[in-house]
Amino acid sequence: MRFAIGGTRYVSLPTLRRRSVITGSISSGSSIRGPSTVRIGSQWMEYQGANNWHGLLDPLDDALRSEIVRYGEFVQAAYTSFDFDPTSPSYATCRFPKDSLLHRSGLPSSGYRVTRNLHATSATRLPRWARSAPASLSRRSSWIGYVAVCQDEDEIARLGRRDVVIAFRGTATCLEWLENLRASLTHLPSPFPPSASQPDPMVQRGFWSLFTSPGSVRWSLRDEVRDEIARLLDAYGGKGHPLSLTVTGHSLGAALAVLTAYDITTTFQDAPMVTVVSFGGPRVGNASFRRRLEEQGSKVLRIVNAQDIITKVPGFVIDDGGNGKKKDGKEGTTLISWLLSKTGWVYADIGRELRLPGQRTANVVACHDLSVYLNLVNQLSANYPFRSLATQAVAGQR
């Protein structure tokens, strides 16, 4: 069985056979829509999170709902384009040429053009007992997503700017699964010395490895993104339409989307507004990393199915009220919080959360599936707010 996952420990390795069980498939009832007609126009910065989506989430604004689903479909296109068949000579590559990728993956009228394929490389090794497994299981570099630029003038007018999308799929290969399990935190390069009030920013070791490790014939994912963003900023930055960067992904792809936003705002002083729209993402880093991300101006909309266990891992979250004090006002932390802080497993939830009232079930795959996420988002509207859905969901469980 195969499903995209980020930072969990209790699942078996995927067999990578049946496409019908891929997380992100459209077999759960979601359908690819035609082009959106909801006009964003001059309000685009608000919808991209300039005010942290204040007043837009509960009830969920209809225009924002449409945009969330639209970005989710870019992620579905990444799943659809990926060759999941380990017996295929093209396993772990993109099945479609760049020029026809969006059309052939179900988005014929998006108004965007793919400009770059993206690849992630694992630095970990298979355990000794698995080294005699088929060569496909040891595939280190895999196609993980793409960069696309809005080129259609009508869509640019609807959006109020020229939008660049960076879309990532979730976990697919054996080594990506192993990277998910490397859930301890690792330090990020930082020009600022740590202090008691500003400890080092840290992120999940496996996600960082997939983001920064180069392949034998490929750059790292980080360098591929940097190179393409530099090219696009030169081509479009400050010329004509305003420019936005939207990074979107599901599961592992959601984690990589957060790291990508962090790296873009760190690397490019003249970067336009960077927004993350993540679906079913695991935790990525500690509170210092979250603070650094926010200081750099990145906006993260974290879409979470309340029943999805993947969004609750890895590590622990110590709720200190955001100011180093417990909520009851007493200074310091409890002994258990202090002990947890020494484990290297203390994470922080990052971004503004849109929590979806999914149906309670023991089926982890069903809770985590991207198409389930998009269906749940589609059920939310200004006339059908989250609280009403949540009340109905609870009532249905009695």
The C-alpha atoms of residue 116 and residue 146 are separated, in whole angstroms, by 6
Alpha-carbon torsion, ordered 59, 79, 203, 68, to 10 deg: -20
* Rg, C-alpha atoms of the chain: 20
Angle at 104 (CA atoms; ends 99, 110), nearest 5 degrees: 75
- Per DSSP, helices labelled H in the chain are 44-47, 62-81, 101-104, 153-159, 174-180, 205-212, 221-236, 252-267, 287-295, 335-341, 364-368, 370-379, 386-396
The structure tokens listed for 243 are 């420019």
**3-class state of residue 257 by DSSP:** helix
- Dihedral sign for Cα atoms in the order 6, 51, 35, 372: positive
The structure tokens listed for 152 are 């259609």
Q: Tokens 């060569």 correspond to what residue?
A: 135
Which phi and psi (to 5°) does residue 322 adopt? Answer: 85, 5
Strands 185-187, 202-204: pairing kind? antiparallel
The structure tokens listed for 154 are 């009508």
CA atoms within 13 A on the CB side of 296: 25
Q: Which residues are catalytic?
A: 251, 308, 368
CA distances from 137 to 4, 207, 362 (A): 16, 19, 28
Which phi and psi (to 5°) does residue 342 adopt? Answer: -90, -5
- Per DSSP, helices labelled H in 128-220 are 153-159, 174-180, 205-212
